[in-house]
Amino acid sequence: MIARIWRGRTRTEHAHEYVDYIKKTGVKQHRETPGNRGSMILTRENGDEVEFLVVSLWESLDVVRAFAGERPEVAVYYPEDEKFLLEFEPEVRHYEVAVAELA
């Protein structure tokens, strides 16, 4: 299993709205892609900013390509991301899941 991890930051006052936006765009598209095993949005407040980690789980890197394209390391962005994000990280990270013990 592959974990795909994307990172972004927004202003604190936009954090809740951006969570909703990520759910309606990225997470929705993850879940609609065959081979997706789940997605999480993690947040961490840091002063007047909130950091986001979106962790999505996939059966294989080939399945990630079905979502992200031929260069799966390139971050996927949506039209209104520029309304929220303080910067655009060009790449995501992929990790092989060694252990996943979930309730």
Mean pLDDT, consecutive 10-residue segments, the chain of 103 residues?
A: 98 98 97 97 97 98 96 96 96 96 83
Q: Which pLDDT score is estimated for 26?
A: 96
Q: Do 31 and 39 touch, CB atoms closer than 8 A?
A: yes
Task: CATH number of the domain at 80, please.
Answer: 3.30.70.100
How many angstroms separate the most distant Cα atoms in the chain?
Answer: 38
Domain containing 47 equals 2-96
- C-alpha 99/C-alpha 103 separation (Å) is 13
**The pTM is what?**
0.93
Residue 26 lies inside a defined structural domain of this protein: yes
Q: Which pLDDT score is estimated for 102?
A: 80
Residue 59 lies inside a defined structural domain of this protein: yes
Residue 67 lies inside a defined structural domain of this protein: yes
Q: Which pLDDT score is estimated for 50?
A: 98
- Give the chain's domain count: 1
Residue 103 lies inside a defined structural domain of this protein: no
